[in-house]
């Protein structure tokens, strides 16, 4: 019986393969109790050696050892089943998940064997086998538990805050700083984005959605739905689609409420895909990245008195004023998501009243034209300006000169020419200018800037 049972457990992963595809919701629902229930078998199993050892002096303790062992087996089986449902249901795979799974299966079989062998040991027929088996079970338990912990908390969870002296003694947690593999745009700018925001769920240990993002080869391989990068076609690339969905969309990435990628990171990925998603290209036309650290900018004035009007602006035009943070001195963001071409120069002008408090303006894909620059020139604290895919021609860029705090300007997909960009030279802090898919693309402004100020990639 026990042999058949063990065989069945060993075959389980071959019948219901962890194929990286999510399955039924009920499986995920039940599976999510695994991290809770798992503490039961751990408790029971750890109690067994205590009872056996204590029984040397107080024999009555040993009388309950069999029962506790049986409870340990039943709860291991339950926790293992839930764990399997969790991985199978939510489509988890990866080396860490596989190790943890085999740990759980081995543990359950180990406890079953202990349960069977114990009577032989108690009667004195086979004196050694049970203690050895029990020792192995404890080792497997620690190992499997550690694998599970690494899946939920990350593999450096324990070593991260380890005192330096202990780190040196154990040789743990002192991984050398990662040097960029090469000077390519992918290695320097694209891979680090995935590394910091995606690899927890799309790396070696945990592979969600069958997708790994920890190397160029894996990235291009794609996930459960096939390729996620379509070289030359950003709009067809699943990866870009998923990181640009509305933040509360079920398929938005990074998932589970993690903060979205920054607009310029998305811009880099988009430009990189557009220009062929190469692993070796060292620069992209139309992308200027300044490596200097941002200098802290002066705070804006206090807009608290205008709060009722700020709230009211949301309903009138479909565009919204959003607070950067709870601190009024951090300023406001003008958001125009979903308003489309109905939001034009007249609508923009209504925000002139809040001009000194606005630090970021998102006008991508709106109906704003060159006439809108009259309003924009009043936004004296503006740092970030999005104008991609609008009808602006660049002829009014001179009007941006008073915006001395501007650091980021996106003109991608507009008709801006290289000549029109010349006035921007006057804005010293303006380090990120995006121009791909414009007539100016093949002549980035950085060519005319002093090399220490701006770096073209
Ligand atoms: C908290 C975990 C988590 C993080 C962090 C995360 N993802 Fe995901 N990702 C998932 C899960 C779960 C799936 C599979 C379910 C689905 O398709 O929504 C998935 C699926 C995907 C897919 C679809 C793969 C396919 O073939 O269907 C893409 C593309 C993707 N993620 C990109 C990213 C990117 C890019 C990041 C980083 C910016 C990221 N993910 C961060 C959990 C995560």
Question: Does the beta carbon of 202 lie inside 6 Å of ligand 1?
Answer: yes
Alpha carbon dihedral 199, 434, 393, 377, in 10-degree steps, equals: 100
pLDDT attached to residue 182 = 59
Which of 79, 10, 9 lies closest to 44 in space, CA to CA? 79
From 202, 262, 269, mutation site for ligand 1 pocket: most ligand atoms within 8 A of C-beta: 202
Question: Does the beta carbon of 258 lie inside 6 Å of ligand 1?
Answer: yes
Residue 219 has pLDDT above 90, yes or no: yes
Average pLDDT on 2-10 reads 91
The token duo for 349 is 């002008």
Question: Does the beta carbon of 209 lie inside 6 Å of ligand 1?
Answer: yes
pLDDT attached to residue 84 = 95
Give 332's strand partners. 323, 358
Question: Does the beta carbon of 85 lie inside 6 Å of ligand 1?
Answer: no
Strands 332-335 and 320-323: antiparallel
Quick one: pLDDT band at residue 315, thresholds 50, 70, 90?
A: low
Q: What is the 3-state secondary structure (H, E, C) of 316-356?
A: HHCCEEEECCCCHHHCEEEECCCCHHHCCHHHHHCCHHHHH
Which of 140, 141, 173, 177 lies closest to 157 in space, CA to CA? 173
As a whole number of angstroms, the distance between CA 323 and CA 49 comes to 59
Question: Does the beta carbon of 200 lie inside 6 Å of ligand 1?
Answer: yes
Q: What is the per-residue pLDDT across 97-154, written as a single tens digit (0 to 9) for each?
A: 999 999 999 999 999 999 999 999 999 999 999 999 999 999 999 999 999 988 877 6
pLDDT attached to residue 79 = 97
Question: Does the beta carbon of 291 lie inside 6 Å of ligand 1?
Answer: no
From 242, 250, 265, mutation site for ligand 1 pocket: most ligand atoms within 8 A of C-beta: 242
pLDDT attached to residue 317 = 57
What are the C-alpha distances in Å from 413 to residues 269, 310, 362, 438? 16, 31, 15, 5
Least confident of 18-32, 39-53, 438-452: 438-452
Quick one: pLDDT band at residue 451, thresholds 50, 70, 90?
A: very low
Ligand 1 midpoint to CA 250 (Å): 11
Question: Does the beta carbon of 238 lie inside 6 Å of ligand 1?
Answer: yes
Q: What is the per-residue pLDDT across 333-364, written as a single tens digit (0 to 9) for each?
A: 888 877 788 889 998 998 888 888 999 999 98
Question: Does the beta carbon of 104 lie inside 6 Å of ligand 1?
Answer: no
């Amino acid at each position: 019986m026990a042999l058949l049972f063990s065989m069945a457990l060993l075959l389980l992963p071959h019948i219901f393969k962890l194929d990286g595809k999510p399955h039924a919701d009920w499986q995920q629902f039940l599976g999510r109790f695994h991290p809770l229930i798992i503490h039961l078998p751990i408790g029971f199993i750890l109690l067994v050696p205590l009872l056996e050892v204590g029984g040397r002096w107080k024999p009555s303790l040993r009388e309950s050892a069999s029962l506790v062992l049986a409870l340990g087996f039943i709860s291991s089986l339950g926790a293992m089943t839930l764990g399997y449902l969790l991985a199978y249901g939510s489509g988890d795979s990866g080396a860490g998940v596989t190790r943890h799974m085999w740990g759980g299966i081995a543990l359950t079989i180990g406890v079953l064997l202990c349960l069977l062998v114990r009577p032989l040991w108690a009667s004195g027929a086979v004196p050694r086998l049970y203690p050895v088996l029990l020792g192995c079970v404890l080792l497997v338990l620690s190992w499997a538990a550690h694998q599970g912990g690494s899946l939920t908390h990350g593999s450096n969870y324990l070593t991260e805050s380890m005192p330096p002296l202990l780190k040196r003694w154990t040789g743990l947690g002192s991984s050398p700083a990662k040097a960029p593999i090469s000077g390519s745009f992918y290695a320097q700018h694209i891979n680090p984005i995935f590394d910091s925001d995606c690899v927890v769920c799309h790396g070696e240990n945990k592979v969600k959605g069958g997708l790994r993002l920890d190397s160029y080869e894996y990235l291009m391989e794609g996930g459960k739905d096939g390729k996620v990068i379509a070289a030359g076609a950003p709009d067809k690339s699943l990866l870009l689609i998923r990181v640009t969905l509305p933040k509360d969309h079920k398929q938005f990435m990074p998932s589970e409420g993690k903060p979205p990628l920054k607009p310029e990171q998305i811009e880099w990925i988009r430009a990189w895909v557009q220009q062929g998603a190469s692993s070796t290209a060292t620069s992209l036309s139309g992308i200027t990245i300044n490596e200097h650290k941002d200098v802290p900018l002066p705070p804006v004035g206090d807009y608290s008195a205008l709060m009722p009007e700020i709230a009211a602006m949301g309903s009138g035009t479909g565009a919204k004023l959003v607070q950067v943070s709870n601190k009024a001195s951090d300023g406001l963001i003008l958001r125009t998501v979903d308003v489309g071409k109905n939001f034009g120069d007249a609508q923009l002008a209504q925000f002139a009243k809040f001009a000194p408090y606005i630090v970021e303006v998102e006008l991508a894909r709106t109906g704003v034209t060159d006439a809108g620059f009259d309003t924009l020139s009043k936004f004296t604290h503006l740092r970030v300006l999005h104008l991609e895919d609008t009808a602006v021609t660049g002829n009014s860029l001179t009007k941006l000169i008073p915006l001395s705090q501007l650091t980021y300007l996106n003109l991608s997909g507009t008709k801006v020419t290289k000549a029109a960009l010349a006035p921007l030279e006057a804005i010293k802090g303006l380090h990120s200018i995006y121009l791909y898919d414009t007539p100016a693309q093949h002549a980035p402004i950085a060519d005319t800037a002093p090399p220490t100020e701006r770096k073209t990639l």
